[in-house]
Structure 1
Amino acid sequence: MPRALRLPLAALCLALLPASPAVLGEEDSATAPKEPASAVERAPLEERSQEDSTSLERQIPIRDQQRLKAGEEAFLALWQPANVSAPEGLVILLPGDGETADWPEAIGPLRRGLPNSGWSTLALTLPDPSDDPLPPRPLKTEEPTKAEPAVSPEKAQEEGPANTEQAGSAEPNTDPAPPPLSRDAIQKTQTDRVFARIEAALAFARQQKPKAIVLLGHGTGAYWAAQFLAANEPQDVRNLLLVAAELPAGYAPALEDSLPELKLATGDFYYKDQPADRDAALRRSHASKRQKHPAYIQIAMKGLPGDRTTEQEQLIRRIRGWLSLHLEAGTGKAPTDG
């Protein structure tokens, strides 16, 4: 056979031989489907109120910050002692839904303004509203490495069916999902958390031995203040102040149903130019008259949307006037049995 024909024939024979195990192993490893990556654990999301507290900790002087504990939860409170040698008492401030312990409406101005009138203040951070669920945290995606370059859209489209088949072959998670909580269970948990924080604030307030303790709520904080006093009846809290009171969505009873039963010295401040606030205040006034509440006083105010500074100064003056004229003196001591 001529030499010119031997070389192509040898090459053809080699091509027909089976590939060596080493070569097959390399090809299989390159084309074999990769093991599914282990699921990335989602870090628990912080509540918005916790994020707001973290922001306040960077802005508010350390001397004004108090870390209080309610059960297993620690939370931020802002403490401002009275700027006098003999304080008149202590006001605990409860912000409304979505507000912070230094909210620019009511809570912040009162927190800073009342100490100049002889009142210490303690502004709390309350938990997020129970009807405001946290958004899911997106799963982290790993950056493509040099060994595994990112797949182009065209390539991904071509390999889509194969990848889907491989993903479907993974063993599904058969663990049963926890049953969703009922609305009553969610509201009870929220109530317990809020009440625990108010109780922690009272424990701190009692350590200061004030002449009187006043509970003041703004917005939905007014509802929580009233419900706490109705449920717990602390003997050293004889005064309740409501500012632009609101009922949290889905909660009961309405304020006009619970306030007259308290029989505490109550100041109800509302904005008369807000129709919803005015109508709700009218219902509370009628209920207090039917129940012959001995010390319920409503104070109508005018909102000043174009001049918030003057509006807040007006609120401070009205609150200060109520405290000087209608305060029911307390012992300032923790209640005792018998």
Structure 2
Amino acid sequence: MLPDLLSKLYRFGLPALILLSITAVSAQQNEPQEQEETTEKAPDTYEYASPSYRIERSKINISEPVSRETLQRDDLSHYLKPANVMPLLAGPEDFITLIKNELTGNSKGVAILLPDWQQGATAANSLNYLRKVLPDQGWTTIAIQPYEKPANYPSIALKPEQQQEENNTSLEQYREKLSAMMTAVMEKAKSYPGIFLVIAQGSHAAVLTDLYQQEKVPLPNALVVLSSFMPTAEENQAYAKALAQTELPVLDISLKRDHPLAITNAGLRRAHADKEMKASYRQRILNNFTTGYYPEESLLREINSWLRYEGW
């Protein structure tokens, strides 16, 4: 290509060279204007495959994120039968419960299932299996869709004193909500015959035990706690002491492969129960393959054998 260009320049001489220089200078002068026009249009609109299809930034509506609790409530109301989904009122707020009546002629009582916070009423790691199988053994089950964990808990403040103060404030507010919730559930449970069994999981078991110890919630006949712990050492100490001092018969179950805090604090609760000489306390550790997931048949067998031992 270069030899052809040189031959043309040689043929036409100096005028051709001048004309070529003018053309190059004109192209350089026009190029910045095109770039400026492109830069001015970019912030205002977005162009897609079709030039006629435009979206202005001012017309794009971005929805606020929906809370986990709202999503879980909507899923329960949408996918489950309306006869099994029953909203209850706790003070100014309502919450969702899943009720499944016992399917035998000999009613044993009501099993109230409280998942850990951030978990759903149909969480597959433990309680959903009990919700389905206990009615075949004479239990009416009431599974609760819990409230969300407090937003600022545990505290991330720099000073330990400030952390403790913020944690106490958050937990106190949550205890009031949980107290109203469990009181409403116990009132509903009284419409069924038999004893009252509460099966609580995770941190909810610890918070609920504290409410039982302070007599802020009507007491059931028996309490089962699953993988229970609190995020801080001070709260775990208080929980172990409250569990050992409560008059409720307690079955304390955890897993071989569990949350590290659940494994660590199981021994602490056992030590406090021995110190208080709590006779109606049994602790079991189940072998499992998947961390946090209970072996279903082993869990049911432990609960049934303990209930028979307690006389139910």
* 1:285 maps to 2:305: no
Partner of 1:217: 200
Partner of 1:75: 95
2:230 pairs with one of 244, 247, 250: 247
Partner of 2:141: 121
Q: Identity of aligned pairs, percent?
A: 19
Structure 2: 5+ residue runs without aligned partners?
A: 1-61, 154-164
1:194 pairs with one of 167, 178, 198: 178
User: C-alpha offsets along residues 2-21 of structure 1, whole Å, 9 cap, x if unaligned?
Assistant: xxxxxxxxxxxxxxxxxxxx
CA distance change for structure 1 residues 250 and 94 in 2, over 3 Å: closer, same or farther?
farther
Identify the structure with the greater helix proportion: 2
Q: CA RMSD in A?
A: 2.7
Q: For 2:216 and 2:177, how far apart are their aligned partners in 1? A: 18
Q: TM-score, normalised by structure 1?
A: 0.64
CA distance change for structure 1 residues 51 and 312 in 2, over 3 Å: closer, same or farther?
same
Partner of 2:122: 102
Partner of 2:244: 260
Q: For 1:189 and 1:307, how far apart are their aligned partners in 2? A: 28
Q: For 2:231 and 2:261, how far apart are their aligned partners in 1? A: 14
2:213 pairs with one of 212, 230, 240: 230
CA distance change for structure 1 residues 182 and 248 in 2, over 3 Å: closer, same or farther?
closer
Deviation for aligned residue 1:236: 5.3
Structure 1: 5+ residue runs without aligned partners?
A: 1-41, 134-180, 330-338
User: C-alpha offsets along residues 307-331 of structure 1, whole Å, 9 cap, x if unaligned?
Assistant: 96x812321222222223225x6xx
Deviation for aligned residue 1:216: 1.1
User: C-alpha offsets along residues 176-214 of structure 1, whole Å, 9 cap, x if unaligned?
Assistant: xxxxx9543332211111111111100100122x32101
CA distance change for structure 1 residues 118 and 283 in 2, over 3 Å: closer, same or farther?
same
User: C-alpha offsets along residues 20-58 of structure 1, whole Å, 9 cap, x if unaligned?
Assistant: xxxxxxxxxxxxxxxxxxxxxx99875421221111111
CA distance change for structure 1 residues 307 and 326 in 2, over 3 Å: closer, same or farther?
same
Deviation for aligned residue 1:88: 0.6
Q: For 1:291 and 1:58, how far apart are their aligned partners in 2? A: 47
CA distance change for structure 1 residues 282 and 215 in 2, over 3 Å: closer, same or farther?
same
Deviation for aligned residue 1:83: 1.1
CA distance change for structure 1 residues 278 and 183 in 2, over 3 Å: closer, same or farther?
closer
Output the amino acid matched with 2:280.
A
Q: Is the 8 A contact 2:179 2:216 kept in 1?
A: no
Output the amino acid matched with 2:277.
K
Q: Is the 8 A contact 1:217 1:224 kept in 2?
A: no
Q: Is the 8 A contact 2:85 2:99 kept in 1?
A: yes
Where in structure 2 are the equivalents of 1:127-206 lying within 5 Å?
127-131=147-151, 182-206=166-190
Q: For 1:306 and 1:196, how far apart are their aligned partners in 2? A: 32
Q: For 1:58 and 1:188, how far apart are their aligned partners in 2? A: 33
Partner of 1:269: 253
Deviation for aligned residue 1:221: 2.1
Partner of 2:304: 320
2:288 pairs with one of 300, 303, 317: 303
User: C-alpha offsets along residues 210-250 of structure 1, whole Å, 9 cap, x if unaligned?
Assistant: 32101111111211331221122666523111111121558
Question: Higher relative contact order at CA 8 Å, sep ≥6: structure 1 or structure 2?
Answer: 1
Q: For 1:307 and 1:292, how far apart are their aligned partners in 2? A: 30
CA distance change for structure 1 residues 52 and 251 in 2, over 3 Å: closer, same or farther?
farther
Corresponding residue SS for 2:83: helix
Q: Is the 8 A contact 2:76 2:85 kept in 1?
A: no
CA distance change for structure 1 residues 109 and 185 in 2, over 3 Å: closer, same or farther?
same
Q: TM-score, normalised by structure 2?
A: 0.69
Q: For 1:53 and 1:192, how far apart are their aligned partners in 2? A: 21
